[in-house]
Structure 1
Amino acid sequence: MEFIELLALILCLTAVTCYLAAGALLLRKKTKPAAMLAAIGWLANLGIFIKNWYINGYPPFASMYQVLSDLSLVFLVIYLLIAVFEKDQRWVAPYFCFGSAIPLIGTLFMDKEMRWALVPALRSGWFVPHVFSYMLSYALAAVAFILTVAYLVNQNHPVRMKKAIYTIHRLSFPFMTIGLLFGALWADQVWGNYWQWDIKEIWSLVTGMLYLCYFHALRSSKLQKYAFVFSILGFAALIVTFLCVNLLPKIPGSLHTYA
């Protein structure tokens, strides 16, 4: 194993351990040691980001390994913003810590190409804004999903849980929409068309429509009981869009095979 691979592994394991431990401590109301561990985990995670950028020479959003590593980095940043502007939602901190660990755990089970050649389609000014918008959206959607499962398993504090889930979805959806818009502008620049009905584009549209159904269901007295169903289906579609389409054998004619 090369030194750079060993360093990446050590940083990853450190970050995962700290994130999970911080989440567990927060559930027990031990905020000071939890905050310290979360900070150590985030700094280790930042080390992975810096390492990826340094050895490749471009913002590390190109490969699935890079994106998963980066995705873990944004959870706690988002939480800090929520803690400032939505002070009554600070109790969701442990769920953001758990969410931070999940993408990094995923990187442990996949091939890690430390150096990744940037294909021509990715050399666009829309590349980073498109990916970053979706990263923010997906991180928020993941926390909303974790909260939804926690609520359905143990229906404590129903009003507080439902409000938090709605608030996080409300923050996630605009970034998802912006990411889709940036993707269309990028597609027009690279392929000369805003929309190609590529499989990844189709699944991203399905994901957005399911989350729209969630918001609509909340406003309908007849459909309210199905709101969580649409939320869970939306997250399932998100996983298909983000992971499954990329991990399946390359689909002939797909424009997103570089992802």
Structure 2
Amino acid sequence: MIIAAAQNENLAEISNYLVYSAMAVYALAFFAHIAEWTFGSRSKVARTASALTQTEGDGKAGGESAALGATAKAGAGGGTSVLDRPKVVVRSAAGRRGDLPDGPGAAGEDEQGDKYGRMGLALTVLAALLHAAGVLTRALAVERAPWSNMYEFSTAFSLVAVVAYLGFVFAGKNARWIGLPLVATVLLDLGLAVTVLYTESTQLVPALQSYWLWIHVALAIICGALLYIGFVATILYLFRDRYETKLMKGGQPGAFATSVLERLPSSASLDKFAYRINAAVFPFWTFTIVAGAIWAGEAWGRYWGWDPKEVWSFITWVAYAGYLHARATAGWNGRKAAYLALGAFACYIFNYYGINIFVNGKHSYAGV
């Protein structure tokens, strides 16, 4: 028994070192993404302004002929790099918000920027592997699911967010723009985990010793990580939408706003991306609450007791249900829907941090 305890302590220490190593590599990935946004070409990203300044008289035929001409011209210069060729976007009509082209990504289709972006992506993959190893060795050390307290929940949460991002990227989605805000948030989350929220590896109280720990809490982590990516898309949508609105009114955004926001997908694409994620996650969040109620019935003899964690999980469910209902029935798209989505995610974050840290309840024994 003493030998086993010593082995578990060694595994827990190895887990800590792996998490610290992952943080160091995430920091390198963060600086690589900063370089990607900073040194990526600014001359190849002025698509939105040009699309908005075209007249309706150009129409579909004019847009298609110009696109075909650009294609032929690019093909004539056989020595041109693929990254330097203009991205041809054929639209049904120019000058309409829904027809605006997506940005090329953080690198701006520039070879130097793309080099830094690939470095950032490779470093993120390496950090994710170290991160996953840290979570796995923590599980081996405690001989249970590695998410029974806020430290473990935070490390698992950020890992799932990174894996989801990498999944979007390697699936061929235009998702490189998520890299910088994601890595910055992961660093913040892990920094809080290893300092403020750190908890020594211990065994569970009897109420938590259930297979529902693997189901209920794992689902909460997965849902939260995906909702976070939807939150990032919503925040960036608000900035991009404001930029497009200013252009449509004839305004001239600053050089920094142009060079950064032009690399993002269009506001319509960002809005659709966030909506699809939130809509896909909502049924799983519903099952998360149901699974928690079933577990509460087994552990405490009642399915619902108005515990603060239960209440705010339900409030979060209502907030996202209101967001989806508003979009589906009232036609709330754009900024109004975005504000509802931000409010819903704020409920999730308060349930995650606020309830666990500042409010006492049945879930308090999980520890900070």
Distance change in 2, residues 1:181/1:148 (3 Å): same
Q: What is the CA–CA distance in structure 2 between the aligned matches of 1:147 and 1:10, rounded to whole Å?
A: 28
Task: Provide the aligned length of Structure 1 versus Structure 2.
Answer: 254
- Residue 128 of structure 2: aligned partner: 42
**1:50 partner letter:** L
For structure 1, the 5+ residue unaligned runs are none
Select the residue among 4, 13, 27 that pairs with 2:13. Answer: 4
The separation in 1 between residues aligned to 2:326 and 2:188, in whole angstroms, is 29
Amino acid at match of 1:194: Y
Deviation at 1:117, TM superposition (A): 2.5
- For 1:7 and 1:42, how far apart are their aligned partners in 2? 14
Amino acid at match of 2:353: L
- Partner of 1:258: helix, strand, or coil? helix
CA distance in 1 between partners of 2:197 and 2:176 (Å): 36
Corresponding residue number in structure 2 for 1:171: 280
Residues 183 and 19 of structure 1, relative CA distance in 2, 3 Å threshold: farther
Amino-acid identity (%): 25
Deviation, 1:152, is: 1.2
The structure-2 alpha-carbon separation of the partners of 1:203 and 1:215, relative to structure 1 and needing over 3 Å to count, comes to: same
Partner SS, residue 27 of structure 1: coil
**How far apart, CA to CA, are the structure 2 residues paired with 1:203 and 1:21?**
36
Q: Find 1:14's aligned residue among 24, 42, 48.
A: 24
Task: Give the distance between the partners of 1:15 and 1:184, measured in 2 at CA.
Answer: 39
Residue aligning to 2:230: 144
**Cα shift at 1:166:** 0.8
Work out which of the residue numbers 106, 122, 125 in structure 2 matches 1:27. 106
Q: Assess, with a 3 A threshold, how the Cα gap between structure 1 residues 43 and 195 changes in structure 2: closer, same or farther.
A: same
Over residues 182-220 of structure 1, what are the superposed CA-to-partner deviations in whole Å (9 max), with x where a residue is unaligned?
Answer: 111111111121111111100000001000111111124
Native 8 Å contact 2:145 2:213 kept in 1: no
Q: Is the 8 A contact 1:214 1:227 kept in 2?
A: yes
Q: Does residue 258 of the first structure (1) align with residue 365 of the second (2)?
A: yes
Instruction: Decide whether aligned partners of structure 1 residues 102 and 181 sit closer, same or farther in structure 2, where only a CA change above 3 A counts.
Output: farther
CA–CA distance in structure 1, aligned partners of residues 339 and 313 of structure 2: 18
Report the Cα distance in structure 2 between the residues aligned to 1:132 and 1:179, rounded to whole angstroms.
9
Structure 1 distance, partners of 2:299, 2:32, is: 43
AA in 2 matched with 1:243 = Y
Q: 1:98 to 1:165 in 2, by over 3 A?
A: farther
Kindly provide the amino acid, as one letter, of the partner of residue 214 in structure 1.
Answer: Y
8 A Cα contact 1:16 1:104, kept in partner: no
| 2:216 is aligned with 1:130 | yes
Structure 2 counterpart of 1:257, one-letter code: S
Q: Are 2:77 and 1:67 aligned?
A: no
Question: Partner letter of residue 161 of structure 1?
Answer: L
CA deviation map 1:10-48 (0-9, x unaligned): 324224314534654472244532331111110121132
Could you tell me whether the CA contact under 8 Å between 2:26 and 2:123 is conserved in 1?
no
Q: Which runs of 5+ in 2 are unaligned?
A: 1-9, 37-104, 108-113, 242-260
Distance 1:15 1:56, change over 3 A: farther
Pick which of 194-203 and 71-80 moved more: 71-80
Q: Does the 8 Å CA contact 2:26/2:183 hold for their aligned counterparts? A: no
Does the residue aligned with 1:237 lie in a helix, a strand or coil? helix
Contact 2:18–2:130 at 8 Å: present in 1 too? no
TM-score by length of 1: 0.86
Aligned ranges 1:74-85 → 2 under 5 Å? 74-82=160-168
Contact 1:188–1:194 (Cα < 8 Å) also in 2: yes
Q: CA deviation at 1:91?
A: 4.6
Matched, 1:228 2:338: yes
Task: Select between 105-114 and 157-166 the one with higher mean Cα deviation.
Answer: 105-114
In terms of mean alpha carbon deviation, does 14-23 or 64-73 score higher? 14-23
Distance (Å, rounded) in 2 between the aligned partners of 1:240 and 1:214? 18
Change (3 A) 1:66 1:236: same
